[in-house]
Amino acid sequence: MPKTPAGIRAIAFDWGGIFTEGTFDSSAVKNLAVLCGLSEEELAEIYYPLMAEFEVGAFDFDGFYRRFAKHLSGELEPGVFRKTFLGSVRERSAMFEVLKAIPANYRVAMLSNNVPVLCDRVRDDERMQRIETFLFSNEIGVRKPKPEAFARLSEALGVAPNEIVFIDDSPKNIAACEEYGLHGLYLDNFEGFKKRWQELLPDLPLVS
């Protein structure tokens, strides 16, 4: 019977696309496009460059809103913008059960490209209590897939890269973490993820 690779001491998660159905950004683009009367392609051209800066702490939420609004021809009420942005979270409930079931002898962390208004929401969620260490790009100043992000994860957990399993929904991030020496665990859909989990971590129960 296969066994979990010797030396695995920690499991780390991305947030968007892992604890959410689809990426947060894809949902935000769709919702904000409707709000602004733009196509998703037009909205994406505004959104993604700004998010790349937002996620490394270049400005706060008000700064994000102001920069976003400059690209629009009409008025955009700040409160409606904020509500639409935050309302783009669609939870993947099964992953909270996966998190909860991780045995106590494993260190658990989160490494996510994220922005302050969402970081606070994630960190304050009682279902995230199993996570000991949160590393958000806007707080550490670097985004995945840069190797520095994975170095910070290893340092924060106090374990070597080859002792960490990292779960992400981006093939680019999985490739980068594996190049750095971590064990990548890709999540595209939950059924596929379950199979990969059981192959990599057969000694750990997957309750969902």
DSSP letter, residue 161? G
Which residue range forms the structural domain that includes residue 36?
Answer: 24-86
Q: Is the domain of 117 the same as that of 14?
A: yes
- Beta strands at 133-136 and 107-112: parallel, antiparallel or unpaired: parallel
Distance between CA atoms of 149 and 62, rounded to whole angstroms? Answer: 26
Both 33 and 56 in one domain: the answer is yes
- Is the same domain home to 125 and 37? no
CATH of the domain at 151: 3.40.50.1000
Residue 5 domain-assigned (yes or no)? no
- 65 with 141, same domain: the answer is no
For 47-91, what is each residue's pLDDT tens digit? Answer: 999 999 999 999 999 999 999 999 998 889 999 999 999 999 999
Tens-place pLDDT, residues 118-134: 999 999 999 999 999 99
80 lies in the same domain as 105: no
**Are residue 135 and residue 147 in the same domain, yes or no?**
yes
Burial class (CB within 10 angstroms; exposed 0-12, middle 13-18, buried 19+) of 136: buried
Q: How many structural domains comprise the chain?
A: 2
Q: What is the pTM of this model?
A: 0.90
Judgement on whether residues 36 and 109 belong to the same structural domain of the protein: no
